[in-house]
Structure 1
Amino acid sequence: MISGIEIIDSHVHTFASDEIAGRIISSFNKLYDIEFTNPGNGTIDNVLENMKTGGIDRTVMVNFAPPRIIHQNNLWTLETGKNSCGKLIPLVSFHPEMEGILTEHLENYINMGARGIKLHPMAQGFDVRDERMQKLYESCNEKRFAILIHCGRVSNARLNEYSDFECILPVIERYTDLPIILAHMADGSVKKCLEVSKKYKNVYLDTSIVITGYPEIMNVNEPSWLDDGEVTSIINEIGADRIIFGSDFPWGSPIHDLKRIMNFNLDISQKRLIFNENAKRIFQLE
């Protein structure tokens, strides 16, 4: 907690060991030609220590995986959340090619503590418009069970079109009761952020990478918004009730991002919305 405000970081990747973290981060950075230094490695000990240092109260784990290991990865994320005394909030991931019936998996995951879904269509290599995903979306729409979707490039790299806003748009328009969080402020497009916030009431935007205070990212990531005054104006126009604080740790830095956003010329009610109230509402947290 900082200045009396509970802090929830709604976009963090976690890994089971130093070995797994090192392997995934190294391969991911190579694939996407990421040149900046990671501020951590995302192991549970690393995340919890970072939270303690930065004054972060709760962290939302947004893990994903290829289809052959996605269920196993979801189970590990759920168990990790269960054992964290409420500090780590688990989201689960899906893929049209994962084994089993998606809606049955969803029910089981919810019973095990899942609070939402994370999809990274570009990295996972699937089109969110795939018909095999539609019953899952229908169920989420009925439950208002939130989905956080990676939107845009990764450090200026684009492997395919699956995380382009145009691919995600049909899901937004079809499932109007489904809370959809577009990660990275919809690829840092000011125009797109303003358009979607006005037109689609079920869309939210997370601050990760784009509204960053981490110097390594600010120096190399093209979509990052660097002018504090401009960022504050954008937030005021979008509405703080549509924006969620997220860091993308261990690629982004929650400590740096938190300090920067805390210094914005926003009132305390706006900061509470961004740092915790929106996340509590969208992820149905107690």
Structure 2
Amino acid sequence: MVNDIEVIDSHVHTFASDDIAERIIASFNKIYDIEFANPGNGTISNVLNNMKEGGIDRTVMVNFAPPKIVHQNNLWTLKAGGDSGGKLIPLVSFHPEMEGVLTEHLENYINAGARGIKLHPMAQGFDVRDRRLDELFRTCSQRSFPVLIHCGRVSNARLNEYSDFECIVPVIEKYPELPVILAHMADGQIDRCLEVSKKYSNVFLDTSIVITGYPDIMNVNEPSWLDDGQVVSIINEVGADRIIFGSDFPWGSPIHDLNRIMNFKLDHHQKELIFSGNAKRLFKL
């Protein structure tokens, strides 16, 4: 808790060991030509230490994986969440090519503690408009089960079109009762942030990477919003009830980002919504 405000970091990647973290981060950074230094490695101990240091009360794990191992990765994420005593909140991931019936997996994951879904269409290599995902999205819509979708580039790299705004919007329109969180403030494109917030009541935006306080990202990452006054203006226009705090650790820095946003000229209620209120409502915490 910071300034009497509960803090939930709603966008963090976690890994099972130092070795696994090193391999995945090195591979991801090479593929996406990431130029800045990672502020950590995303192991459970690393995440928990950051939380203690920064006053972060809970962390939402947004892990994803290729189709052959996504189920096993989900099971590990769910166990890590269960073992954390409520500090780590698990989201699960899907892929249209994963084995089994997707809705059956979903029910089992929910029973095991899943609080939402994370999809990274560009990195996982699939189109969210794939008809094989229809029943999954329909079920999530009926249950108001949130889906967090990576939107836009990764460190200015774009391997395919699957995380483009144009690919994701048809899903938003098709399932108006489905809570959709667009990661990275819809790729940090101001006009699109304002467009989706006004046109689609089921859309939320997370602050990760774009509203950053991490110096290395601010110096090199193109979509980052550097002017505090402009950011406050955008938040006021979108509405604080549509924005969720997230860091994208171990790429972004939860402590730097928290400190920057906490110092914005927003009132106490707006900060409560951004730092925890919206996440608690969406993830039913």
Specify the TM-score bucket, using the shorter chain as the normaliser. Answer: over 0.9
- 1:14-46 CA-partner distances (Å, limit 9, x unpaired): 000000000000000000000100000000000
- Secondary structure at the aligned position of 2:276 is classed as helix
Distance 2:209 2:189 in 1: 13
Q: Provide the residue aligned with 1:178 in structure 2.
A: 178
Q: Deviations along 1:114-135, whole A, 9 cap, x unmatched? A: 0000000000000000000000
Structure-to-structure mapping, 1:1-286, within 5 angstroms: 1-285=1-285
Give the superposed CA RMSD. 0.3
* Aligned-partner SS, 2:59: strand
Report the CA distance between 1:198 and its aligned residue: 0.4
Q: Taking structure 1 as the reference length, what is the TM-score of the superposition?
A: 0.99
Q: Tell me how far apart the structure 2 counterparts of residues 275 and 35 of structure 1 sit (CA, whole Å).
A: 28
Instruction: Find the aligned partners of 1:252 and 1:119 in 2 and give their Cα distance.
Output: 18
Deviation string for 1:211-231 (max 9, x for gaps)? 000000001100000000000
Aligned length: 285
How far has the Cα of 1:265 moved from its partner?
0.1
> Unaligned regions of 5+ residues in structure 1, if any?
none
Q: What is the TM-score with the length of structure 2 in the denominator?
A: 1.00
Q: Percent same amino acid among aligned pairs?
A: 80
The amino acid that maps onto 1:272 is E
User: Matches of 1:200 and 1:273 in 2, distance apart?
Assistant: 19
Separation in structure 1 between the aligned mates of residue 280 and residue 37 of structure 2, nearest angstrom: 31
- Could you tell me how far apart the structure 2 residues matched to 1:38 and 1:223 are? 17
TM-superposition CA deviations, 1:160-189 (whole Å, max 9, x none): 000001000110001011000000000000
Structure 2 unaligned residues grouped into runs of 5+: none
Q: Which runs of 4+ in 1 moved over 4 A?
A: none
Distance apart, 1:246 and its partner CA: 0.1
Give distance in 2, aligned partners of 1:171 and 1:186: 14
Paired letter, 2:230? E
Q: Shift in Å at residue 245 of structure 1?
A: 0.1
